[in-house]
Chain A
Amino acid sequence: MIDYYAQTDTCMGIKAISYDEINTHDFDGDFIAKTVISTVFAGILCASNPISIESKQETVESVSGDRVLDINRQDLALLAKIREKALYPDNWDGNGAIAVDKKTINDAESFIRDLLRDRIIYSPIISLAADGEINFLWVLEDFRFDLGFYGDQTFSYYGKASSGQEFISDEMDISEGLPEAIVNFIRK
């Protein structure tokens, strides 16, 4: 579960920790402080708590010197979007919505990390549903694909190609990843 990218003066290179590890590992205070700052640069704070692009850039440089985070990297951009969903509290929609569970965040991260390991894909629309689901939606010219996580280490999906071919799974283990036939539709 390694994945949290941050660069600091005390820890050379890229330090990578998962969402859970932030709270459970024995990192020194300086590293944690800088990691939190770096998290902001990746766009992880939600839009309801906005930070200007200018201030993000300034802090990126002050923390990492000439080693600036590449926020244009697809994996980092998608991870940032996923983690943004963790900031929504219960009843975020004013209609009884459920806050997303940490396990759901972890499942979505694991999935996207594996998916992007050796390929570039079309980026999905990442959204939070009122029932605590993190949803990935691909709306492509020849394929529409709806996939979601609820934090039980599985995902489910339904997709339909313009040819009429359908793909459906009620429950698939995160470790299995997506079938290649589906990956071929979303691969760039």
Chain B
Amino acid sequence: MAHQYTLDCEKITHEFSPGVVEDEEPLLRLLYVPEHVDVKTNRVIETAIPLVDLKSRGLSLDRLAFAKKGIIQERMKQQMIRDPDKRKEASLAKFCCSDIRSIVDTDSGVRKNLVIDDAMEINIAHASIFSHKEMGNGALRKQRAVLLEYLQDRYCLDALFN
């Protein structure tokens, strides 16, 4: 089922939230090698962005300004245990919120993505990317190809939090 978010939802603060996601905020996306990275080219691949996330679940992010190193570290640990062969190494893609919000349809000028404050009690830094408009899977694949370009700048946890 498609999500119900609109552009106005970007201006709404949710429960547990430290505030709406500002355009200039740096955002993080947790990635694993080799699950999400082509080891030959060292570039993040398409399955790092599940279509269902753009469509309905939301692509999970952490807001760097509010993220806690310990929370991300524990998540990495728990998720790497589940599939150690596909998750030999964890890294965090870092990009600016405005990079994502400024992606528009070249014909209509309509924004392609929403970045929503999606704070949770256990992680107030949680945010999500959703596709702005409902679209078919082929179009969503095209959209994730564009988003992928912003996931290529990756850092280890210590580099971001020390």
Contacts and interface: CB of A to CB of B under 8 A. Distances in A.
Contacts of A157: 138, 141
Interface stretch (B6-14, B17-25, B40-48, B113-121): B40-48
Interface in B16-34: none
Interface residues of B, number: 31
B60 A95 contact: yes
Contacts of B79: 93-95
A60 B84 CA distance: 28
Given A95-B60, A157-B138, A170-B136, A146 B82 contact: no
Interface in B117-162: 135-139, 141-142, 144-145
A129 B139 contact: no
> Which of B50, B53, B139 has the largest count of A CB atoms less than 10 A from its CB?
B50
A137 B141 CA distance: 11
B141 A148 contact: yes
A170 B138 contact: yes
Contacts of B45: 125, 127, 137, 139
The bracket for how many chain A residues form the interface is 20 to 34
Interface of A: 47-48, 92-96, 125, 127-131, 133, 135, 137, 139, 144, 146, 148, 150, 156-158, 160, 166, 168-171
Interface of B: 35, 38, 40-41, 43, 45-47, 50-53, 57, 60, 78-79, 81-86, 135-139, 141-142, 144-145
30 contacts: A48-B84, A93-B79, A93-B82, A93-B83, A127-B35, A127-B47, A129-B51, A130-B50, A131-B53, A133-B47, A133-B51, A133-B52, A135-B46, A139-B43, A144-B145, A146-B46, A146-B141, A148-B51, A148-B137, A148-B141, A156-B141, A158-B138, A158-B139, A158-B145, A160-B145, A168-B138, A168-B141, A170-B135, A170-B139, A171-B136
